Structure 1
Amino acid sequence: MLGQRIKELRKEKKLTQQELSKGIITRSYLSQIEQGLVQPSFDILEKLSLKLDCSVDTFFKTIENKDLLLSQVKKEIKTAENQIESNSYEKVEGFIQKKDYLVHKELNSYDRGILLWVHGKYYEHKKDYNHSLAFFEESITELESSKHTNEMLRSLDSLGYVHSQINNNEIALNLLNKAYRIMIYDQIQGVIRVSILVNLGIVHGKLKEYYSAINFLQEASDLNDKMGTYYKSGEIFMAMGICNMQLKRYKGAKDAYERALNFFKLSKNKYYQAGTYTNLGILSSYKKEYHQADLYLRTAINIYKSVGSKESEIMNVQVELARVYYLQEEYDKASSICHDVLQMEDVNKHTAQALELLGDICFKLSDIEDSLKHYNRAKDFLVTQSISCDHLCKKVADVYFSIGDYQKASDFYKECF
């Protein structure tokens, strides 16, 4: 509407009706124009446009309803938040592409904090951890300033989780401990409490604090039971299984893994199913149930291949399968799988593990030259990746000791320390 547009432009210039109309028309005539009661001539419009520092065309441009636009943006943010909460990441793709939302000046701290969290979770799902960390950190800042504790805790929990995924475990622990203290002080309940407890359990497990890890995980499981929910139940029992396996509580580990597998099957999460089968295979190997270990590990490999997983994930299971054959003294089968791993394009810690296992096989077969070659290749690789190789130095030393080269054996034993 022409009159409404002239009124908006006048207010943007901070002019009164008297100031704008002066020397052109009367104030009352301008008032009638703004109310849409009269239609001004082109000559009047041209003079008004000069005073408002715009063109006549500007008067006829479609007027945006800013309140309606902001309401629509907020609605889209809420929809994206719900889609992330329900793990519908594919539905958020289009929303993430709307980069202009991130610089929307009308958004308050709460809405901007949620918007940033949504972006962080999307990039976390894509395993683009650098971007997700930046979004979560900014989200925490926005939500802290607006005093929205539950949402801020969610972002803090997400930030801690991502740090744990890239093995910044000390940083993750500090962030999650902060979240835990706020959670206790403000008596926060619900799924955010479960999530913080689960992530604390996982980080404590990574730091080899298995007993405290199990306590956090059990508390999360108990809270789920109390609420009648199954939030992150698969992850809870998977982590419990790992901790129990490290503590050599094999029955407890198997029970936990089987419960985790049931939850992952219900949620149709193939990726986590494969991870659970891998851990069941490793557990069976520890218990010397080699036939069962073979079945579990081959199932894991088939699932990983069916969902197009990364080579590194398949290589991890292949090394474990090769180790099962090694323990049964089926050296040809073990060696063949190790060579398959070395043919992969991805080069990672599993490459070093395959080389180490080949060194073990050669040593068992008294092939000293090849044994040392494989051990040293594995050792050199770990050094370039800044990964400890003390155990390999000991193996090299043992080889030299076995052939009576005590000086070299001594030198490598010293390297262990």
Structure 2
Amino acid sequence: MLGERIKQIRKQKKMTQTDVATGIITKSMLSMVENGKATPSVPALQAIARRLQVTVEELMLDPRDVQMRELIETIRSRHTPYFSDEKIQELLEPYLVPETTSYWQGQVYHKYGDALRASDPELGLTYYEKAERIFQQLGRQDEQLLVQISTVYFLFNLKRTKEAYELIEAMDIPREIPLAP
């Protein structure tokens, strides 16, 4: 992803690999970075960012994650007019694929699952599973627990009480770590 971002920004600025690499790393090393076969050192990454006139953060972040974050924050905002479940589904649908293993992708799946509570709770459970898997991979225990709580709610609404109670029993609730607000 880092290499793809460097290449994307370099091409947007109509720069060659030589333009970017000169005095920082070799052109062949930049090519390997752009193709995901090598990772630059931190000083080299900082120099590349300066040369491209962007921040290191801009090189590291997937622009899609930024869009997902802004959308989730808009949906959660108190200053935003109320969104119907249908509108939330419509807003989030473009971000359902391709799947990435990012915090914001997990948030999109969780919110999308929430928005399916009335129209298709079974499909909502599928998106909760995706969100939970992502949060588990990222080690985001508090977010994973929130998804599990949502899943229990859906299971009770679907009259699948046995599954709900089994999930409650299996939930790993950290007693010594407070949940994020």
TM-score by length of 1: 0.27
Within the candidate set 96, 102, 109, 2:89 is matched to 96
Seen in structure 2, the aligned counterparts of structure 1 residues 150 and 168 have a Cα distance that, compared at 3 Å, is same
Preserved CA contact (<8 Å) 2:65 2:105: no
Q: How far apart in 1 are the matches of 2:157 and 2:14? A: 53
The alpha-carbon deviation at position 154 of structure 1 amounts to 0.7
The alpha-carbon deviation at position 167 of structure 1 amounts to 1.0
In the alignment, which residue of structure 1 is the partner of 2:159?
167
The alpha-carbon deviation at position 162 of structure 1 amounts to 0.7
In the alignment, which residue of structure 2 is the partner of 1:259?
none
The alpha-carbon deviation at position 7 of structure 1 amounts to 2.5
The alpha-carbon deviation at position 101 of structure 1 amounts to 1.1
Structure number with the higher helix fraction is 1
Preserved CA contact (<8 Å) 1:123 1:129: yes
Within the candidate set 121, 127, 135, 1:129 is matched to 121
How does 1:23-42 map onto structure 2 within 5 Å? none
In the alignment, which residue of structure 2 is the partner of 1:118?
111
In the alignment, which residue of structure 2 is the partner of 1:158?
150
Seen in structure 2, the aligned counterparts of structure 1 residues 138 and 162 have a Cα distance that, compared at 3 Å, is same
Q: How far apart in 2 are the matches of 1:104 and 1:72? A: 14
Seen in structure 2, the aligned counterparts of structure 1 residues 78 and 168 have a Cα distance that, compared at 3 Å, is same
Within the candidate set 134, 157, 173, 1:183 is matched to 173
Aligned letter for 2:73?
K
Q: How far apart in 1 are the matches of 2:64 and 2:156? A: 39
Alignment pair present for 1:75 and 2:62: no
Q: How far apart in 2 are the matches of 1:83 and 1:128? A: 25
Seen in structure 2, the aligned counterparts of structure 1 residues 83 and 173 have a Cα distance that, compared at 3 Å, is farther
In the alignment, which residue of structure 1 is the partner of 2:5?
none
In the alignment, which residue of structure 1 is the partner of 2:47?
none
The alpha-carbon deviation at position 187 of structure 1 amounts to 4.3
The alpha-carbon deviation at position 96 of structure 1 amounts to 2.5
The alpha-carbon deviation at position 186 of structure 1 amounts to 4.2
**SS of match in other structure, 1:132:** helix
Q: Deviations over 1:212-231 (max 9, x none)?
A: xxxxxxxxxxxxxxxxxxxx
Q: How far apart in 1 are the matches of 2:177 and 2:15? A: 54
Preserved CA contact (<8 Å) 2:113 2:123: yes
Preserved CA contact (<8 Å) 1:109 1:145: no
Aligned letter for 1:103?
V
In the alignment, which residue of structure 1 is the partner of 2:133?
141
Within the candidate set 102, 105, 119, 1:109 is matched to 102
TM-score by length of 2: 0.57
Q: How far apart in 1 are the matches of 2:70 and 2:133? A: 22
Structure 1: gaps of 5 or more residues: 20-34, 36-65, 192-417
- Aligned Cα root-mean-square deviation (Å): 3.7
The alpha-carbon deviation at position 75 of structure 1 amounts to 1.4
Preserved CA contact (<8 Å) 2:88 2:115: no
Q: How far apart in 1 are the matches of 2:16 and 2:151? A: 47
Q: How far apart in 1 are the matches of 2:88 and 2:116? A: 13
In the alignment, which residue of structure 2 is the partner of 1:7?
16
Aligned letter for 1:120?
G
The alpha-carbon deviation at position 183 of structure 1 amounts to 2.3
Structure 2: gaps of 5 or more residues: 1-9, 21-26, 32-50, 52-60
Seen in structure 2, the aligned counterparts of structure 1 residues 3 and 75 have a Cα distance that, compared at 3 Å, is closer
**SS of match in other structure, 1:183:** coil
Preserved CA contact (<8 Å) 1:160 1:176: yes
**SS of match in other structure, 1:103:** coil
Q: How far apart in 2 are the matches of 1:109 and 1:69? A: 10
In the alignment, which residue of structure 1 is the partner of 2:58?
none
Seen in structure 2, the aligned counterparts of structure 1 residues 77 and 186 have a Cα distance that, compared at 3 Å, is same
Q: How far apart in 1 are the matches of 2:127 and 2:12? A: 43
The alpha-carbon deviation at position 6 of structure 1 amounts to 4.8
Identity %: 16
